[in-house]
Amino acid sequence: KDKATRDDAVRLDKWLWAARFYKTRALAREMIDGGKVHYNGQRGKPSKIVELNAELKLRQGNEERTVIVLALTSQRRGAGEAQQMYQETEASIANREKMALARKMNALTMPHPDRRPDKKERRDLMKFKFGEPE
C-alpha cells in the first residue's frame, strides 16, 4: 500500500468512536470484540480498515441498527457532522420504530403500583421471595 492509502485508512473502532456510536474507543473495541458489531455481514475486528459504502450492523442494548458508511474520518466531530458520516437503512429505521412501539405497548400492560410498599408489605414481600428467616 502507498502512503496516501495508509493515511486515509481508519480503523473500525476509531470510526465508530468518531461517528459517535460509542463514547470511548475502548468501549467501541469492547463492543466489537463482544460480537455486537458486524462489518459487511461478518463479525468485525477493532483493527479492520473501514471502507466507503460498507454495511455495519450495530447492536446497542435492545436496538439493532444497520448503517452504510458515507465518510471516513478518525477525528471526533460534533453530533451534526458525525451523522453525515453514515446513513441508516430504511429497513433498520422501520425495525427500530416497530421495536420501540412494542416496548411501549408492553410497558402499558405491566402493572404499576400506586405507591411504594410500607414496612409491613416489604416484610411480607421478603418472606414471600426468600422464605422465613431462621
pLDDT value at position 7?
57
Cα torsion angle, 59, 23, 89, 61, sign: positive
Q: How far apart are CA 14 and CA 7, in angstroms?
A: 14
96-134 per-position pLDDT tens digit: 999 999 988 888 888 788 899 999 999 999 999 998 766
pLDDT value at position 52?
94
pLDDT value at position 1?
46
Please give the model's pTM, rounded to 2 decimal places. Answer: 0.76
Q: How far apart are CA 71 and CA 50, in angstroms?
A: 10
Mean pLDDT by 10 residues, the chain (134 residues): 60 96 96 96 95 95 93 92 95 94 86 88 92 73
Mean pLDDT, the chain, as a whole number? 90
Q: Structural domains in the chain?
A: 3-130 (3.10.290.10)
Name the burial class of residue 104, with classes exposed (0-12), middle (13-18) and buried (19+) by CB atoms within 10 angstroms of its CB: exposed
